[in-house]
């Protein structure tokens, strides 16, 4: 991997020098550890992750978005052309690599540019328009890890590409994220919204910003001094205190955008009012990617500070920038780790449903051997079976069963082997019954209400 040297990589080396070797990825004790800024998702975490994925799938289905999956690697030029050469993502955060054939590829830092590429390459414009697409997968940015910020993180995104630039589509994208947060019971969120204008009115706004910030150049941070020339809008997004306080008197976008953009923006707000999606106008909201035009938005949790939750906007020039026909588009994406963190921290629990699963208990060596085939029969009939065949005592098997939220246990001992029967025990009621093996599967299905 080639990574342009950045402040963060220098710091990360210093930090890991204390705890281990950054080259081998080993800790002091000689054990390998997960790469910095990345994390494992353990079975216990899937309680949350599954819920999020399921809600996203359900919403996509109900709101008529079709799933799209693009490769994790793309030509790095795709991101330079779309996200912008001067953005932090492209300048400092992309993981790029040279292949044996000398192609320069990048681990995707986001999903919109790859989907725009796929839209053109697969001629999705020849299908009914607009195309409503959603995706879910890992993204990579070599950022400084902190709360809610990872180097590998999962994003779910919704994009509406093609058709016309109707404000109703902007509202539909925002609505689906509002519904996602509601379905996950994430409350106390604020939606900030703004319009960053179009290619006709934005250059004029940029110039006014440059004039304003030029007067205060000495108070800008080093990054913003550089941004002043090529990307003054990004100064509005700088989190450093000196730059933040200058923002208060900077010219505001909403006063400067053209009549067409104002009309478009007003119509978006009217749709949101109609849908009863509350929002806050933020005249200075801009985004860290250069491809946006007109609407931009970000949702934040008011209680848990992990950074933006869903965020996005309109990108009417992106497809054209990579060789497609002019194609209006709007979309957004949300980091799954951030959603999970907010749910955990806010104590959001989903009622643990009783699983349609049984626990198989064997008693003795012979029964253990014969269990293998009996369990296979159940599983091939579509029944989920948990067991602890490696444990001998019934007590220790019951301890494992106890931790699982199962209603039924099957008990199989030497007597049952000879009698070709099995005991079905209802763990909630404490009642049990012996059935012959040939009736076992149908009995279990009946009790679990599996068809
Ligand atoms: P973005 O603002 O860079 O936009 O990322 C969207 C969301 O991804 C963020 O609001 C956050 O929830 C999550 N996210 C971003 N970086 C990280 C990170 N390092 N760790 C954890 N979560 C993170 C985009 O990526 C655009 N492609 C969104 C879009 C779609 N615009 C139009 N369509």
Classified as helix, coil or strand, 199 is coil
C-alpha distance from residue 150 to each of 7, 20, 155, 390, 448 (Å): 16, 20, 11, 38, 41
* Letter string b/e over residues 404-420, b meaning 16 or more CB atoms within 10 A of that residue's CB: eebbbbbbbbeebbeee
Does residue 289 sit in the same domain as residue 378?
no
DSSP assignment string, 231-254: -GGGGGG--SHHHHHHHTTSPPHH
- Which range of 125-134, 225-234, 388-397 scores highest in mean pLDDT? It is 125-134
Report if residue 372 sits inside a domain: yes
pLDDT for 10 equals 36
Would you say residue 36 has pLDDT above 70? yes
CB-CB contact of 303 with 318 (8 Å): no
Does residue 46 sit in the same domain as residue 20?
no
Does residue 196 sit in the same domain as residue 289?
yes
Strands 408-413 and 357-363, by their bridges, are parallel
Instruction: State how far the Cα of 313 lies from the Cα of 332, in Å rounded to an integer.
Output: 6
333, 337, 338, 342, best to mutate for ligand 1 pocket (most atoms within 8 Å of CB): 333
Instruction: State how far the Cα of 284 lies from the Cα of 246, in Å rounded to an integer.
Output: 12
Phi, psi of 330 (to 5 degrees): -150, 150
Q: How many CB atoms lie within 10 A of CB 137?
A: 16
DSSP 306: S
pLDDT for 26 equals 67
Instruction: State how far the Cα of 425 lies from the Cα of 410, in Å rounded to an integer.
Output: 6
Report if residue 18 sits inside a domain: yes
* Backbone CA torsion sign across 162, 163, 167, 173: negative
Our answer on whether the CB atom of 141 is closer than 6 Å to any ligand 1 atom is yes
Instruction: State how far the Cα of 448 lies from the Cα of 215, in Å rounded to an integer.
Output: 73
**pLDDT digit string (tens) for 42-74?**
988 988 999 999 999 999 999 999 999 999 999
CB-CB contact of 308 with 237 (8 Å): no
CATH number of the domain within which 424 lies: 3.40.50.800
Our answer on whether the CB atom of 108 is closer than 6 Å to any ligand 1 atom is no
Tokens representing 82? 């779309």
Report if residue 64 sits inside a domain: yes
Q: How confident is the model at residue 86 (pLDDT cuts 50, 70, 90)?
A: confident
What is the whole-number distance in angstroms between the Cα of residue 335 and the centre of ligand 1? Answer: 6
What is the whole-number distance in angstroms between the Cα of residue 110 and the centre of ligand 1? Answer: 7
Does residue 30 sit in the same domain as residue 65?
no
Q: How confident is the model at residue 229 (pLDDT cuts 50, 70, 90)?
A: confident
Does residue 274 sit in the same domain as residue 339?
yes
**Residue carrying the six token digits 């950045």:** 6
Instruction: State how far the Cα of 47 lies from the Cα of 350, in Å rounded to an integer.
Output: 9
Report CA Rg, the chain: 28
What is the share, in percent, of the chain residues with pLDDT greater than 90?
80
pTM > 0.75: yes or no = yes
Report if residue 350 sits inside a domain: no
**pLDDT digit string (tens) for 112-136?**
999 999 999 999 999 999 999 999 9
Would you say residue 355 has pLDDT above 70? no
Would you say residue 409 has pLDDT above 60? yes
Would you say residue 231 has pLDDT above 90? no
CATH number of the domain within which 131 lies: 3.30.930.10
Burial class (CB within 10 angstroms; exposed 0-12, middle 13-18, buried 19+) of 446? exposed
Our answer on whether the CB atom of 334 is closer than 6 Å to any ligand 1 atom is yes
pLDDT for 354 equals 54
Would you say residue 20 has pLDDT above 90? no
Tokens representing 248? 């208060």
Our answer on whether the CB atom of 335 is closer than 6 Å to any ligand 1 atom is yes
6, 36, 155, best to mutate for ligand 1 pocket (most atoms within 8 Å of CB): 155
Last residue of a domain, one of 320, 345, 370: 345
Range of the domain at 365: 357-448
CB-CB contact of 184 with 343 (8 Å): yes
Phi, psi of 294 (to 5 degrees): 55, -125
Report if residue 232 sits inside a domain: no
Our answer on whether the CB atom of 132 is closer than 6 Å to any ligand 1 atom is no
pLDDT for 450 equals 83
Q: Which atom of ligand 1 is nearest to 309's Cα?
A: 12
DSSP assignment string, 333-370: EEEHHHHHHHHHHTT-----PPPSEEEEEEESHHHHHH
Cβ neighbors of 407 (< 8 A, separation 6 or more) are: 354, 426, 427, 428, 447, 448
Determine which residue's CA is closest to atom 30 belonging to ligand 1.
332
Phi, psi of 54 (to 5 degrees): -65, -45
Does residue 277 sit in the same domain as residue 425?
no
Report if residue 222 sits inside a domain: no
pLDDT for 15 equals 45
Phi, psi of 310 (to 5 degrees): -65, 145
Does residue 147 sit in the same domain as residue 80?
yes
Our answer on whether the CB atom of 341 is closer than 6 Å to any ligand 1 atom is no
Does residue 117 sit in the same domain as residue 49?
yes
Average pLDDT over residues 7-32: 57
Does residue 78 sit in the same domain as residue 186?
yes
Structurally, the chain folds into a number of domains equal to 3
39, 41, 94, 335, best to mutate for ligand 1 pocket (most atoms within 8 Å of CB): 335
Does residue 310 sit in the same domain as residue 391?
no
CB-CB contact of 329 with 315 (8 Å): yes
Q: How confident is the model at residue 353 (pLDDT cuts 50, 70, 90)?
A: low
Determine which residue's CA is closest to atom 17 belonging to ligand 1.
149
Nearest to 267 by CA among 129, 174, 132: 174
- Give the residue with greater pLDDT, 430 vs 134: 134
pLDDT for 76 equals 96
Instruction: State how far the Cα of 419 lies from the Cα of 400, in Å rounded to an integer.
Output: 27
Does residue 271 sit in the same domain as residue 420?
no
Report if residue 261 sits inside a domain: yes
Last residue of a domain, one of 318, 345, 372: 345
Q: Put residue 342 in one of left, alpha, beta given phi > 0 → left and psi -120 to 50 → alpha.
A: alpha
What is the whole-number distance in angstroms between the Cα of residue 313 and the centre of ligand 1? Answer: 11
Cβ neighbors of 192 (< 8 A, separation 6 or more) are: 279, 280, 281, 282, 285, 297, 298, 299, 300
Our answer on whether the CB atom of 174 is closer than 6 Å to any ligand 1 atom is no
**pLDDT digit string (tens) for 163-180?**
999 999 999 999 999 999
**Residue carrying the six token digits 């099957």:** 410
Instruction: State how far the Cα of 236 lies from the Cα of 196, in Å rounded to an integer.
Output: 12
Classified as helix, coil or strand, 34 is coil
Would you say residue 219 has pLDDT above 80? yes
**pLDDT digit string (tens) for 267-324?**
999 999 999 999 999 999 999 899 999 999 999 999 999 999 999 999 999 999 999 9
User: What are the residues facing 181 on neighbouring strands?
Assistant: none
pLDDT for 253 equals 87
pLDDT for 18 equals 46
CB-CB contact of 382 with 431 (8 Å): no
What does pLDDT average to over the chain? 91
Average pLDDT over residues 237-262: 91
Instruction: State how far the Cα of 139 lies from the Cα of 72, in Å rounded to an integer.
Output: 8
Does residue 326 sit in the same domain as residue 368?
no
**pLDDT digit string (tens) for 95-110?**
999 999 999 999 999 9
Report if residue 239 sits inside a domain: no
């Amino acid at each position: 991997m080639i990574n342009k040297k950045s402040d963060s990589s220098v710091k990360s080396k210093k930090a890991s020098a204390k705890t281990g070797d950054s080259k081998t990825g080993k800790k002091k004790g000689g054990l390998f550890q997960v790469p910095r800024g990345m994390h494992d998702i353990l079975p216990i975490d899937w309680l949350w992750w599954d819920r999020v994925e399921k809600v996203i799938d359900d919403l996509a289905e109900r709101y008529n978005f079709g799933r799209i999956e693009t490769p994790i690697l793309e030509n790095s030029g795709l991101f330079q052309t779309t996200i912008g050469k001067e953005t932090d993502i492209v300048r400092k955060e992309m993981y790029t690599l040279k292949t044996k054939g000398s192609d320069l590829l990048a681990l995707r830092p986001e999903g919109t540019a790859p989907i725009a590429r796929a839209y053109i390459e697969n001629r999705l414009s020849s299908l009914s328009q607009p195309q409503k697409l959603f995706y879910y997968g890992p993204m990579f940015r070599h950022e400084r890890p902190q709360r809610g910020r990872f180097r590998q993180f999962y994003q779910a995104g919704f994009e509406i590409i093609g058709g016309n630039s109707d404000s109703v589509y902007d509202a539909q994208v925002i609505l689906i994220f509002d519904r996602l947060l509601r379905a996950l019971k994430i409350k106390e969120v604020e939606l900030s919204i703004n319009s960053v204008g179009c290619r006709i009115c934005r250059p004029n706004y940029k110039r006014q910003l440059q004039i304003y910030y030029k007067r205060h150049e000495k108070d800008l941070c080093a990054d913003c001094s550089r941004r002043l020339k090529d990307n003054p809008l990004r100064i509005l997004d700088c989190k450093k205190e000196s730059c933040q306080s200058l923002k208060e008197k900077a010219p505001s976008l909403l006063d400067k955008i053209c009549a067409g953009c104002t009309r478009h923006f007003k119509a978006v707000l009217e749709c949101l009012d109609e849908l009863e999606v509350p929002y806050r106008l933020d005249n200075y909201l801009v985004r860290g990617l250069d491809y946006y035009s007109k609407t931009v938005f970000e949702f934040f949790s008011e209680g848990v500070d992990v950074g933006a939750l869903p965020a996005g906007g309109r990108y009417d020039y992106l497809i054209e920038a990579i060789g497609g026909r002019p194609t209006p588009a709007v979309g957004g994406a949300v980091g799954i780790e951030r959603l999970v963190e907010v749910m955990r921290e806010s104590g959001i629990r989903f009622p643990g449903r009783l699983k349609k699963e049984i626990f198989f208990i064997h008693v003795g060596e012979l029964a253990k051997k014969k269990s293998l085939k009996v369990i296979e029969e159940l599983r091939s009939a579509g029944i989920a079976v948990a067991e602890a065949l490696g444990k001998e005592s019934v007590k220790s098997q019951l301890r494992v069963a106890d931790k699982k939220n199962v209603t039924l246990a099957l008990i199989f001992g030497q007597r049952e082997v000879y009698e070709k029967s099995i005991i079905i025990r209802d763990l909630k009621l404490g009642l049990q019954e012996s059935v012959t093996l040939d009736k076992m599967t149908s009995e279990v299905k009946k009790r679990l209400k599996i068809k």
